Chains A and B, each alone.
Chain A
Amino acid sequence: MRLFFAAFAAFIVAACAGPQVRGTGDLGLVIERASGQVTLVDTSVRQPYARVAGLGDLSHASAVYSRDGRYAFVFGRDGGLTKVDLLEGRIVKRVIQAGNAIGGSISQDGRIVVAQNYTPGGIKAFDAETLELLAEVPAEYAPGKFSKVVGLADAPGNQFAYALFDGGEIWVSDFSDPRRPVTRRFPAGSQPYDGLVTPDGRYFLAGLFGEDGVALLDLWQPDKGARKILENYGRGQEKLPVFKMPHLRGWSVAQGKAYLPAIGRHEVLVVDTASWKEVGRIPVRGQPVFVIARPDGRQVWVNFAFPDNGKLDVIDTLAGRVVKAFEPGKGILHMEFAPRGEHVWLSARDDNRVLIYDTATFGKLGEIAADSPSGIFFTSRAHRIGF
């Protein structure tokens, strides 16, 4: 009996020492752009829990998640695609898939990871399980001419929509057969700089740099082609210089309106998503880079290009104006909301800190150390269309 008890106790101890069972819904990662590593974070306790190194050049890196929220796919500037296990805190697989990459996306069914590339210009699709190359779509918009690809976003039906910076077109590739994608092309306008798919998966918007306006494609009715909205929003006035390209994503949509950065103007443009007509513009304190709605849509947070990248403006969507303007740190590069928006994480690159704020009181809840942090990505993205 005593022997049995000892054996039982040993079993209990061994069980406790084994891997802890937990979900991943409250986890995320912070890109540390200068040192090629990511810090894994727990948003419930608001603390880092692991650091994973060896991801290459992470300047302008981004990440998407497997549908079970366990694996992050990190796209590096050097063309590296790295699959990171958030539970075990390690790299599962890493491939160099291009010379110069800008981001990526994951299919509706979670089985295809697609990278968008500057060099060679185009997109490449990989098996999410193995990172085996499935197919590629070179962005050859004219014979022998390849474009940088921007704005890649997933859409329902295992489709991916993206824009060609040099080609001035929107392309939609259908990966229903992952090894044989079918691509349609739509003229969009001059120099699309980024794109987004609306949270319902219906519309693709491509912001234009070379002209005032945004190209809009209805993915439910692609035969109608892309049309321009917000045309001539600059009203022919001289543009202010843009020291960093704005970023678009489905987070722009809140309360039936899309909040979009103006190019060369210190304004956020407001568009009704039913009529796609401009319904307002909100003055802010710089060239907007990220214009991100809190998940409930009550607030929209705006950060800015150099030299105003220490500032943050918060728009109240009910009041239609900035209700909070502050300077939380140096080089605020990115913001990520907790899944239901009660707090927001800010990367302060030049302070080597990630700052955590309460979005109701604007009080600071805490901070974590990170080496030159840039993008922050939480696993809640796994379940959002267009992320």
Chain B
Amino acid sequence: MSRIEFGLIALLAAGNTLAGEPPPARQKELVHLVRQDCGSCHGMTLQGGLGPALLPANLQDKPAEGLVATIIGGRPGTPMPPWNQFVSEDEARWIVDKLMTGFPP
């Protein structure tokens, strides 16, 4: 591996970490958004409602990128709207990661 390639990978890795972790204040906002506003269909405890449950056990077989795409673009034919006005793709990725591993209170 050349030094340039190594540097590029390190940069990408760093970029991923930075992009994947919203700042703490924003994380708090996202948790509030998911629990309160996603919660109006999925339940505040994420056990489901008009929309499906979003607990780790319900999501384990689903590819993360598909879930990110659902948050960003919505699901035509269902009541799931696109949230891209309110969350970035990186933020959606962080939300999906937290949903799959146990969402913060």
Contacts and interface: CB of A to CB of B under 8 A. Distances in A.
Contacts of A105: none
Given A191-B79, A243-B81, A307 B44 contact: no
Nearest to B82: A241
A102 B36 contact: no
Given A59-B39, A100-B49, A102-B49, A241 B74 contact: yes
A244 B48 contact: no
Given A59-B43, A59-B44, A331 B36 contact: yes
Given A57-B43, A209-B79, A245-B79, A118 B37 contact: no
A118 B79 contact: no
Contacts of A83: none
A193 B79 CA distance: 10
A interface: dominant SS: loop
Which residue, of B40, B45, B47, B74, has the highest number of chain A Cβ atoms within 10 A? B40
Contact of B50 (A148, A307, A331): A148
Interface string A102-134: 100000000000000011000000000000000
A270 B81 CA distance: 26
Interface string B18-54: 0000000000000010001101110111011110000
B26 to A, nearest CB: 16
Interface residues on A, range: 20 to 34
A175 interface: no
A308 B36 CA distance: 14
Contacts of A244: 37, 40-41
Contacts of B43: 57, 59-60, 77, 100
Interface string A195-214: 00000000000000110000
Nearest to A191: B79
Interface string B70-92: 00001001010110011000000
Contacts of A33: 44
A34 interface: yes
A59 B86 CA distance: 22
Interface residues on B, range: 20 to 34
Nearest to A102: B49
Contacts of B47: 57, 77-78, 100
A77 B47 CA distance: 9
Given A245-B41, A307-B86, A119 B48 contact: yes
A257 interface: no
Contact of A242 (B37, B39, B45, B81): B81
A349 interface: yes
A301 interface: no
Contacts of A210: 77
Given A34-B44, A209-B79, A60 B49 contact: yes
Interface of A: 33-34, 57, 59-60, 77-78, 100, 102, 118-119, 148, 150, 165, 191, 193, 209-210, 241-245, 306-307, 331, 349-350
Interface of B: 32, 36-37, 39-41, 43-45, 47-50, 74, 77, 79, 81-82, 85-86
What are the nearest 10 A-B pairs in CB distance? A59-B44, A241-B81, A306-B37, A244-B40, A57-B45, A243-B81, A77-B43, A59-B43, A59-B39, A100-B48
